[in-house]
């Protein structure tokens, strides 16, 4: 067993399966005591059972580590407080929070119900805020903390059929950048990871959806990393980088978003101006129409080119 996280206490949400399970196991192997949170729900967030979290706790204990079960729903503000308080009650503090719990309800935006929007935002974006909010109070007091949240290229780059999920995941990246700036001075770092791994969540995306996206020439998320050779990406591959971010060595890594897929770890740039046009005063629409194609728009690619006759649409006929 490693000692990098000896005497540290961690909460990992959604740790009963997939990426979260791998993170909980490695944090424990490195010496951290772990609250294994998982509501044991289906991929769409329905149902609920205690078994996944319980099994991971048993696995950690069998390897000589320390862990306790928590099955609270991260989407509920009070329940999230109980997740963090479980760490305090059982182990005396909370040093590391990994916001990992997640669900999927993919629909094209014109078919997306309010309920499917709300459910996905509630687990990912509200869940990340809820746990972060309660942990931040303790971490600020103790002047130490590590918060690591799962974002996704589905939001950072965009992916069809995932308006709810993508909005939540890009929201998590924004939340990360803001909270990093609020908590940094208290010795707390806040970072996000856009992971990719073969888990049950990915298995639910039908091959048909992938084929349709490819046939229509719709850009896939992570396309900018697709030049990398094909990789086996196991759920356990994300954990070593989480451990690194949790250690003292990473004390100045704050407010960043990383991509982790198999053996690839990439730093994703902060959004920054790529090209700029500046005028002393307000632009007119005519001036913009003239200058845009040769400046800002010179090499922009439409990720989903229209499949309509060129003359269709109002004002396009003449
Ligand atoms: N697998 C990928 O390639 C991939 C890509 C991008 C982002 N992610 C993100 O990584 C995280 C883990 O995904 P995974 O692929 O391991 O999924 P998974 O479905 O295998 O595991 C997610 C776990 O979260 C739990 N959970 C769901 N809602 C919960 C709630 N309200 N409260 C507590 N627990 C809850 C589930 O019971 C499940 O065990 C998610 O946030 C996901 O969006 C995964």
Range 89-124 burial, b when 16+ CB lie within 10 A, else e: eebebbbbbbbbbbbbbbeeeeebeeebbebbbbbb
Return the higher-pLDDT residue of 89 and 229: 89
pLDDT category at 223 given cuts 50, 70, 90 is very low
Catalytic residues: 165
pLDDT, tens digit, 9 for 90 and up, residues 151-172: 999 999 999 999 999 999 999 9
The CATH T-level fold of domain 9-268 is Rossmann fold (3.40.50)
pLDDT reported for residue 230: 54
Task: Tell me the domain boundaries of the chain.
Answer: 9-268
Nearest to 5 by CA among 16, 25, 19: 25
Residue 28 in this model has a pLDDT that exceeds 50: yes
pLDDT reported for residue 199: 93
pLDDT category at 227 given cuts 50, 70, 90 is very low
Q: How many angstroms does the Cα of residue 271 sit away from the middle of ligand 1?
A: 26
Residue 84 in this model has a pLDDT that exceeds 80: yes
- Which residues are CB-neighbours of 21 under 8 A, at least 6 positions away? 15, 52, 56, 235
**Torsion 241-245-248-250 (CA) sign:** positive
Nearest to 42 by CA among 254, 201, 202: 201
CA-to-CA distance for 166 and 168, rounded, in angstroms? 5
- Which residues are CB-neighbours of 98 under 8 A, at least 6 positions away? 10, 11, 12, 13, 15, 20, 23, 27, 148, 149, 150, 242
pTM of the model: 0.93
Token pair of 22, please?
Answer: 């791998």
Number of Cβ within 10 Å of residue 38's Cβ equals 32
pLDDT category at 141 given cuts 50, 70, 90 is very high
pLDDT reported for residue 269: 86
Q: How many angstroms does the Cα of residue 201 sit away from the middle of ligand 1?
A: 7
Residue to substitute in 19, 70, 76 for testing ligand 1 pocket (most ligand atoms within 8 angstroms of CB): 19
Token pair of 43, please?
Answer: 């991929």
pLDDT, tens digit, 9 for 90 and up, residues 45-79: 999 999 999 999 999 999 999 999 999 999 999 99
The dihedral over CA atoms of 233, 169, 16, 27, expressed in degrees to the nearest 10, equals 70
Task: For the chain, give the mean pLDDT.
Answer: 92
pLDDT, tens digit, 9 for 90 and up, residues 176-217: 999 999 999 999 999 999 999 999 998 877 666 666 555 554
Angle subtended at Cα 178 by Cα 172 and Cα 179, rounded to the nearest 5 degrees: 85
pLDDT category at 226 given cuts 50, 70, 90 is very low
89-93, 114-118, 269-273: range with lowest mean pLDDT: 269-273
Q: Distances in Å between the alpha carbon of 267 and those of 131, 246, 247?
A: 25, 17, 18
- Which residues are CB-neighbours of 76 under 8 A, at least 6 positions away? 130
- Between the two ends of the chain, the Cα-to-Cα distance in Å is 73
- What proportion of the chain, given as a percentage, has pLDDT over 90? 84
Inter-axis angle of helices 51-62 and 18-29, to 10 degrees? 30
In contact, 77 and 1? CB cutoff 8 Å: no
pLDDT, tens digit, 9 for 90 and up, residues 275-316: 999 999 999 999 999 999 999 999 999 999 998 876 766 655
Nearest CA to ligand 1 atom 17: 201
What lines the ligand 1 site, CB under 6 Å?
A: 13-14, 16-20, 37-41, 43, 45, 52, 73-75, 100-103, 123, 127, 150, 152, 195-197, 199-202, 235
């Amino acid at each position: 067993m490693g000692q990098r996280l000896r005497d540290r206490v961690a909460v990992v949400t959604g740790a009963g399966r997939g990426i979260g399970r791998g993170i909980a196991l490695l944090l424990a192997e490195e010496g951290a005591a772990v609250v294994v949170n998982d509501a044991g729900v289906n991929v769409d967030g329905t149902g609920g059972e205690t078994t996944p979290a319980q099994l991971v706790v048993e696995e950690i204990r069998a390897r000589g580590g320390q862990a306790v079960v928590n099955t609270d729903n991260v989407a509920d503000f009070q329940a999230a407080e109980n997740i963090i308080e479980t760490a305090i009650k059982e182990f005396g503090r909370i040093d590391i929070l990994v916001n990992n719990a997640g669900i999927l309800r993919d629909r094209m935006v014109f078919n997306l119900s309010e309920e499917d929007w709300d459910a996905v935002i509630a687990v990912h974006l509200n869940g990340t805020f809820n746990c972060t909010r309660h942990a931040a109070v303790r971490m600020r007091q103790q002047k130490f903390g590590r918060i690591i949240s799962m974002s996704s290229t589905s939001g950072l780059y965009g992916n069809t059929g995932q308006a709810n999920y993508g909005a939540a995941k890009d929201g998590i990246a924004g939340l990360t950048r803001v909270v990093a700036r609020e908590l940094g001075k208290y010795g707390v770092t806040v970072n996000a990871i856009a992971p990719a791994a073969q888990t049950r969540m990915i298995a639910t995306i039908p091959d048909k959806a992938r084929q349709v996206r490819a046939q229509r020439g719709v850009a896939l998320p992570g396309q900018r990393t697709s030049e990398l050779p094909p990789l086996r990406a196991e759920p356990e591959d994300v954990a070593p980088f989480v451990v690194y971010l949790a250690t003292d060595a990473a004390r100045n890594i704050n407010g960043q978003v990383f991509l982790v897929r198999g053996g690839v770890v990439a730093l994703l740039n902060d959004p920054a101006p790529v090209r700029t046009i500046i005028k002393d005063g307000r632009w007119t629409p005519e001036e913009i129409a003239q200058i845009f194609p040769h400046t800002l728009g010179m090499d922009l690619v439409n990720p989903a080119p229209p499949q309509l006759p060129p003359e269709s649409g109002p004002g396009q006929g003449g």
